[in-house]
Structure 1
Amino acid sequence: MQAALSLTTREAVADALYRAVLAFDTDDQALLDSALTHDAVFDLDGRIMNGLDAIHSECFATVSKLDTTHFISNVRINVVEGASEASMTASALSQHFRPGTGKTPGATNLMGGSLYVIDVVKDEADGLWKMKNWKMKLIWSNGDWGVMSGN
């Protein structure tokens, strides 16, 4: 995946987050990998995953198989033009259903509201901004946590 030349620096930084959540929603591991550094750290509300392999096995393998959507808003980016590092914060709303039940009326689900704090770096090899540290703090949840574990 090559960096889109039409994106401003701020848009390209935010695109790392957008690629990651879209990857979870569409079960696209290659897209997720384009959004994270190889040694990325994902802090999922205190559960730490170090590196792509851990993120794949401990999070992506489960969440990407669910009927799920993530909505991102209130993105704030701190970047200096020409720099190779930046940070951002965002609010996220996620909704998860067991596989194949997202369109079923009355299906159990889990919805959550989170705050993200993210450090990103520019990968000079492909020109893409990638998340190096992604901290997700769950603020609230509503629904059945069994959705996440298949129960």
Structure 2
Amino acid sequence: MNTILQHAAPLPERPHFPPASTGPLASPDEHAAVLDALLRFAAGQDLGDAALFRSAFTPDATLDFTQPAARLGVELPAFDTLDGIAGAILPIVAKLDTTHTVSNARIHRTGHEQAQLFALVEAMHLPKAAAGDARSSLLLKNFYWCDAVRQQEVWKLRRVHIHNVWWQGQPDVLFGGRPD
């Protein structure tokens, strides 16, 4: 089995996220609270905890994974609504052992109950049946641009746009086969 390493093309025009060095930064407490929404999304996958995963999103959330999917040879629509996101992602990750590492988070306040979040996320995917065989794995390094809102004192993700920087491994780990 050949391991494939792909490097990303230049970043497309970014979603409307402020440059990293400008804009009102969230306070340390706000930073942690907003970031927790993305951490719930990641940990919900890694722990197989659907309630934790779902707690990360607003009911009207959207998640755009179209660019990473296309780089892996799969055409996907953006996922709309909490139920659509959970219905698309949770059945796939239920068959996998995953680890998501979130770093380099930048959070800007865009309103009293609104914020934008940028982060770098490394996601390792390994089929449960592979039992630690790294040759059957898929490692993704992605930029995340997110809009978050505070609802009843809890920050949630309303919009998530994911852009793959690079990947290594076997795309069929995530998608069950790569088209010719």
Q: Specify if TM > 0.5.
A: yes
Computing the radius of gyration from Cα coordinates, the structure with the larger value is 2
Deviations 1:72-110 (A, max 9, x none): 110000026x81000110001111011243524x44100
Deviations 1:10-57 (A, max 9, x none): 110110001110001111110011110011000013430000121122
Give the TM-score taking structure 2 as reference length: 0.73
Partners of 1:13 and 1:85 lie apart in 2 by: 9
In 1, are the aligned partners of 2:54 and 2:86 still within 8 Å (CA)? no
| 1:9 CA drift (Å) | 1.5
* Match of residue 66 from structure 1: 96
Task: Determine if the alignment matches structure 1 residue 33 to structure 2 residue 54.
Answer: yes
* Match of residue 130 from structure 1: 156
Task: Determine if the alignment matches structure 1 residue 22 to structure 2 residue 28.
Answer: no
Residue type of the alignment partner of 2:51 = A
In 2, are the aligned partners of 1:27 and 1:65 still within 8 Å (CA)? no
- Segment of structure 1 superposing worse, 11-20 or 63-72: 63-72
Give the TM-score taking structure 1 as reference length: 0.86
Task: Determine if the alignment matches structure 1 residue 121 to structure 2 residue 142.
Answer: no
- How well do the aligned residues superpose, as a CA RMSD in angstroms? 1.8
Q: How many residues align structurally?
A: 141
Partners of 1:68 and 1:34 lie apart in 2 by: 19
Aligned residue runs from structure 1 range 1-151, under 5 A: 8-46=29-67, 47-79=77-109, 83-104=112-133, 106-124=134-152, 127-150=153-176
Identity of aligned residues (%): 31
Partners of 1:26 and 1:150 lie apart in 2 by: 21
What SS is found at the alignment partner of 2:149?
strand
Partners of 2:37 and 2:43 lie apart in 1 by: 10
Partners of 1:102 and 1:87 lie apart in 2 by: 38
What SS is found at the alignment partner of 1:79?
strand
Partners of 2:144 and 2:89 lie apart in 1 by: 16
